[in-house]
Structure 1
Amino acid sequence: MKTFSNFLLGLIFLVSMNSCRESVDVAAIQVYDGPTNTAINIHLIESDSAIMRLDIKAPKQLEFANGNMEFPDGIAIQFFEKDGSLGTTLRADKGYFLKSENLYKGVGDVQVKNLIKDQSLQTEEIFWNPNEKRIYTDKFVTVQEKQTLFNGTGLEADQSFSTYKLMNVRDSRTLLPGEGM
């Protein structure tokens, strides 16, 4: 009989404990979707046959569970020629890597410079597709080629920015001495 009363007393205790708990609204529980990894001062180098092809630097990299990355403090990418010499630079105030599309995106003050052809590009957003080795944007762009400025909306180019197609050209003009990007 004593066992039965202990059992009954324990059951009453458990029922009273559960009734004192606050119920949790499952819909209010939020899943964490922030960065799973943070790296500071990243420096990635890609080479082929001991010749540098690509150099990526960023002060901070945030990596997410889906493989996407964010470069909140900016990103700088250098593209090298076949002989290993530096050919083109790309920099942006903020950057992203979209893993599912294998696509880099630069936003803010975006600048691309082809050092060999002495030409530069300025825009607010650009995409770099490493598989296709091309850069493109549908935003307003300013291209300086030697002493001429071209303005337009939209651009497609190879990743070295040595050949490009400027869409919807708005105007062009010759630079005055001391003027330029």
Structure 2
Amino acid sequence: MKKLLFILILVLISCKEEKVQPKITSADINGEIPTHESWNSKVYFSEDGKLKAILYSEHLQKFDLKKETLLEKIRIEFYDKQQRNVSQLVAEKGKVDDLTRDMFAFENVIAQNDSGVVLKTEMLKWRNSDQKIVTDKFVSIKTKKELIEGYGLEADQSLNNYVVFNPTYTATFSQSNK
């Protein structure tokens, strides 16, 4: 009986599962670790059941403590009240302030609307509060009739109405210069 009890204790001790903790060094952590991360993401934005925008991103990282989302290789399609695609924006990098829902686009930023207006800059901000596109950086806006370059811009998200605050170059095109 003692022998059986001894064997039973040995079996129970040998069956104990050892918990393995992954090794994490301080060299692996450079600041906050993302709480969510995804690749080839497609995010829909809607308001009152109406599609407002679709965000495509090759790499998305959400940071809860910083309250921001970082994006790489982004494309955003904006939709009007009739849910028609009226403009799109592409950029190498982006950031979303998760508190204000403001979006920032960086590096090779190109926005274009369905009328052929093309905006190029290195940085811009889309303000969620009034749905305006703003920047204080150098911008180039080309339409079928004109080219305007300068510093600072405010525009609606469809790029139909815009103001360049400090223009440095303007040119108008005639029908034959297309």
Give TM-score scaled by structure 1 length: 0.73
* Cα distance between partner residues in 2 of 1:112 and 1:94: 14
* Cα distance between partner residues in 2 of 1:97 and 1:48: 18
Query: Which digits, 9 at most, give the CA deviation of each residue in 1:65-104, with x for residues without a partner?
Result: 3221101x22111111222211011111100112244311
Q: Residue in 2 aligned with 1:62? A: 61
Q: Residue in 1 aligned with 2:89? A: 90
Q: Residue in 2 aligned with 1:24? A: none
Residues 131-150 of structure 1: pairs in structure 2 closer than 5 A: 131-150=129-148
* Cα distance between partner residues in 2 of 1:35 and 1:79: 27
Residues 11-160 of structure 1: pairs in structure 2 closer than 5 A: 32-48=31-47, 51-66=50-65, 67-71=67-71, 73-115=72-114, 117-160=115-158
Query: Which digits, 9 at most, give the CA deviation of each residue in 1:118-144, with x for residues without a partner?
Result: 211000000011221111000000000
Amino-acid identity (%): 26
Q: 1:39 to 1:51 in 2, by over 3 A?
A: same
Q: 1:33 to 1:156 in 2, by over 3 A?
A: same
Say which SS state the counterpart of residue 134 (structure 2) adopts. Answer: strand
Q: Residue in 2 aligned with 1:164? A: 162
* Structure 2 residue ranges without an equivalent (≥5): 1-28
Runs of 4+ in 1 over 4 A off after TM superposition: 48-51
* Structure 1 residue ranges without an equivalent (≥5): 1-29
Q: What's the Cα RMSD here?
A: 2.4
Say which SS state the counterpart of residue 93 (structure 1) adopts. Answer: strand
Query: Which digits, 9 at most, give the CA deviation of each residue in 1:98-118, with x for residues without a partner?
Result: 224431110000011111x32
8 Å CA contact retained: 2:100, 2:128: no
Computing the radius of gyration over CA atoms, which structure comes out larger, 1 or 2? 1
